[in-house]
Amino acid sequence: MHHDNKSPKDSRYDVLFEPVPIGPVTAPNRFYQVPHCTGMGYRYPRTEARLRGMKAEGGWGVVSTQETEIHATSDLTPANEGRLWDERDIPALKLMTEAVHEHGSLAAIQLVHNGMHTANRFSREVPMAPSAAIVDQNDPVQAREMSLADIKLFKQWHIDAALRAKRAGFDIIYVYAGHDMTLLQHFLLQRHNHRSDQYGGSLTNRLRLFQEVIADTRDAVGDSCAVAVRLAVDELMGDEGLEHDGEARDIIEALAEEPDLWDVNLSNWSNDSQSSRFSEEGYQEQYTAFVKTVTTKPVVGVGRYTSPDSMVRVVNKGILDFIGAARPSIADPFLPKKIEEGRTDDIRECIGCNICITGDNTNVPMRCTQNPSVGEEWRRGWHPEHIESLKKPEQYLVIGGGPAGLEAARALSQRGADVVLAEAGSQWGGRVSLESSLPGLGAWSRVRDWRLHQLQQRPNAQLYLHSELSAEDVLSYEIPNVVLATGSSWRRDGVGRANRRPLSFLNNGNVVTPDDLMRDGVSCIQNNGPVVVFDDDRFYLASVLVELIANAGIEVVYVSPSPIVAAWSEHTLEQDRIQKRLIELGVKLVLSHNISNMDDDSLTVKCVYAGSETKIPMGTLALVTARLPNDSLWQELSAVESQWQAAGIKTIERIGDCFAPGLIATAVQSGFALAQNVGLESVPIVRREDYSSL
């Protein structure tokens, strides 16, 4: 990668590169990739190991696994987590520790027993809990109350797993009580622990098992491995749960010096990994800042830190010893190296969209909007920083300056191609610029800004706005390779998931699309009466547009065939926050209803279950359904394919939304993949780990 803008290392950041002892081991710096899921785990161990090794290569001093099941009574199938049930799991985990150690970083493992958080769908073992309870998952399964014999067994399982982890090469071994998904946290919590023996009742009793497991782990592996404790210090539930100024503080004070490291965060996962739509950088500090005042042991915490200045602040103020990160380490595995080398402008900052989290929640390898190489490090051999120079660089014309076009131009220019990037409009970014101007999505502009900054450093990239091109123009330029990244447009005919054919009753005078609202704001709403937003897209955009309209003081009704608001946002851990926000804004929710007719001043909606119809007042209908590719230039060029050769054109390819509308992450990966595959006779087959060995 070019380091044209490399500057001397900034001495302000020296504190971030100090080694920090953690019990018997020493971290080379203060950058700590805390445990996070990848959607890979035990099922895709090579993919997992390469992803973690990449972070060590990028300078993260500690690199952790995701939660790693210690026993068949804690089976999270179908989720692809870590697994350490027995000796047979050691080789897969050893791949990870070796990949991390290769770059001088420490490898950490988060051991877990999930208790009543899991239904044990694969092992079919009966789940266990402090007290009899129905499991967290929606399965019709109940957990049994653990006997004293069960508790003794569990403690042995944890010791055995810690010893296996040590043999696998881990330097730091976790005792995990966080996210309301661990047996050890369930014992701490009064709402889950109703016991009347020595493990229930008073805080001293509820703390007993946690304290014993920390001591057991230290006795078993503490001679050469550090023992870390991960604890939720607030559940944002008031006195129903742990509070940072209540029992959580009491727990840490009671155990202050027992582990070698405190890893502190919020519970549950949706509180811990809040999207940028609902939180700012450093949002956990008010809850975690007290921990260092009650222990002499090093403390790691998170807060979606991407700014080196913020990192220095939390260390110098004595809030944290380590800068913990999950999402920022995914968006830029080389964030520490870039700070160390004085290249802070090159940091690919996390946008907090939580697309990475959808991998774990849909049981597939994760992806990232900012970093298209995530999940492809082993499968495709992609690297977030390095890309092979072209043996015979050719010129490329990239048409469209949205996420796909910007990434294609950036990666092609990095490979040494001469690139002309032409955008018809007056600003770069395409849909990223439109969407990032909406309520809560400002951080998304980083997708545009990082790529523009990279392109502006490259003498082999020429960028032109106000450049709408026809097929005739493209032929006249005689540039051998043409990439079409012309985006997509939202449909106004009602076609989506619930309605697969255009709706004949739509009156176009009353209909607006997301494109109208993003381009013109609420000024595109011309009619009196409520705005009905029909969400058949079922992800984030409709709810954001509802906010935009409601914030302007206009009455809004939200209609969706789904039984909940923004259903797919469950995978980004935002659904409950989105629905709550719409309720607080006074938005009327009409769920499980499709649209079936409209007049000038009303809309008829139909229950998707019973078929009963209801008329609701409406001035304007905002349709958020599906998109169509903006592929007219592709159609024009296809019609004159016989002239390509005479014009010196070798290839014309579509990428991003003009090929098939999808996520911004999909568009970015599409641009990156195009650049990666240049010069290859055929696109390489993706490597797989799921072949049978039979």
Distance CA 145, CA 129 (A): 5
Q: At what angle do helices 148-167 and 203-221 cross, to 10 degrees?
A: 30
Residue 559 pairs in a beta bridge with 534, 590
Gyration radius from the chain CA atoms: 27
Q: Cα separations (Å) of 688 from 53, 90, 94, 375, 685?
A: 19, 21, 19, 12, 9
CB-side neighbour CA atoms (13 Å) of 502: 8
Helices (H) and strands (E) in the chain, counts: 22, 29
- Would you call 272 a catalytic residue per the annotation? yes
Task: Sort strands 31-33 and 128-129 into parallel, antiparallel or unpaired.
Answer: unpaired
Question: Is-catalytic flag, 540?
Answer: no
Token digits of residue 437:
């101007």
Structural element, H or E, at residue 607: strand 602-607
Identify the helix (H) or strand (E) that includes residue 622: strand 620-624
User: Is 179 among the catalytic positions?
Assistant: yes
Residue 641 CA, chain-centre distance (Å), reads 41
Interhelix angle 403-414/664-677, nearest 10 degrees: 30
Cβ-Cβ contacts under 8 Å for 499 (sequence gap 6 or more): 536, 594, 595, 625
Catalytic hit among 272, 332, 516, 535: 272
CA distances (Å), origin 627, targets 319, 401, 489, 494: 46, 18, 5, 10
Is 690 tagged catalytic?
no
- What is d(CA 233, CA 676) in angstroms, rounded to the nearest whole number? 44
Token readout for 40 is 């890979």
The token duo for 196 is 């009347």
End-to-end CA distance of the chain: 42
Within 10 Å of residue 27's Cβ, how many Cβ atoms? 26
Cβ(572)–Cβ(275) below 8 Å: yes
- The secondary element (H helix, E strand) that includes residue 446 is helix 446-456
Q: Could you give the CA distance from residue 666 to residue 485 in angstroms, rounded to a whole number?
A: 12
DSSP line for 92-118: HHHHHHHHHHTTT-EEEEEEE--GGG-
Report the 10 Å Cβ neighbour count for 149.
8
Classify burial at 686, counting beta carbons within 10 Å of its beta carbon; exposed 0-12, middle 13-18, buried 19 or more. exposed
Distance CA 259, CA 255 (A): 8
Please tell me the distance from the alpha carbon of residue 76 to that of residue 112, in angstroms, as a whole number: 11
Contact (CB, 8 A) for 430 and 400: yes
Active-site annotation holder among 36, 71, 179, 593:
179
Q: Is the dihedral of CA 22, 25, 31, 32 positive or negative?
A: negative
Q: How many CB atoms lie within 10 A of CB 138?
A: 8
Strand partners, 590: 559
Among candidate residues 36, 37, 171, 631, the one labeled active-site is 37
Task: Give 561-574 as a DSSP string.
Answer: SSSSTTGGGGTTT-
Q: Any idea which residue has 């599906």 for tokens?
A: 626
Catalytic-labelled residue, pool 13, 32, 44, 176: 176
Gap between the Cα atoms of 294 and 290, Å rounded: 7
Work out the angle at residue 330's Cα, subtended by the Cα atoms of residues 328 and 335, and round it to the nearest 5 degrees: 55
Q: Just list the catalytic residues.
A: 37, 176, 179, 272
